[in-house]
Amino acid sequence: MTSSLYDDAGGLDGLRRLSNAFYERVLADELLAPVFAHFTPAHVEHVAVWLAEVFGGPADFTARLGGHQALLRSHLGLEIRDEHRQRWLQLMADAISEVLPGQPELAAALMGYFEWGTAIARDVSQDPAGTDLGQPGPTPRWGYQGLVH
């Protein structure tokens, strides 16, 4: 292990590969594809930039793409159910196994974040008016021991 999840995942390029492998699965999935009906190729890059910031890389999502508020806003009104969340987590675990094989500590740390983050996304998505972000604060940072701040 190096100093950050970002470094150990291969930096932005590694997170792009992970994001690509994941969304290939999502868009082919009968349960999740409808949730991503408004998916654009830019989404893959935005997710990679978000993960880079969360996992200890540059704060480019906050600087260029609106930060934590924008990330949460993108989930408003989606009405994500727990079955969506569980499938999402399985497809992400599969993508991690493909893109970052043989790194169980890294995989566990990444999945810890995804377990935490998808629960928040599910909860935010339930607002039928699509307006309640609560008080999300700054973009979270995640390390091998979990939430850093």
What is the pLDDT, as a whole number, of residue 80? Answer: 85
Please check whether residue 91 is in contact with residue 101, taking contact to mean a CB–CB distance below 8 angstroms.
no
How distant is the alpha carbon of residue 31 from its chain centre? 18
Find the domain containing 20 and state its range.
5-147
What is the pLDDT, as a whole number, of residue 133? Answer: 64
State the CATH number of the domain containing residue 101. 1.10.490.10
Please check whether residue 6 is in contact with residue 57, taking contact to mean a CB–CB distance below 8 angstroms.
yes
- Residue 19, token pair as written in the block: 């994001």
Walk along the chain (149 residues) in steps of 10 and give the mean pLDDT of each run.
86 98 96 89 92 95 77 73 95 98 97 92 78 71 90
pTM of the full structure: 0.89
**Residues 110, 143: Cα–Cα separation, whole Å:** 8
Q: Provide the number of structural domains found in the chain.
A: 1
**Residues 120, 118: Cα–Cα separation, whole Å:** 5
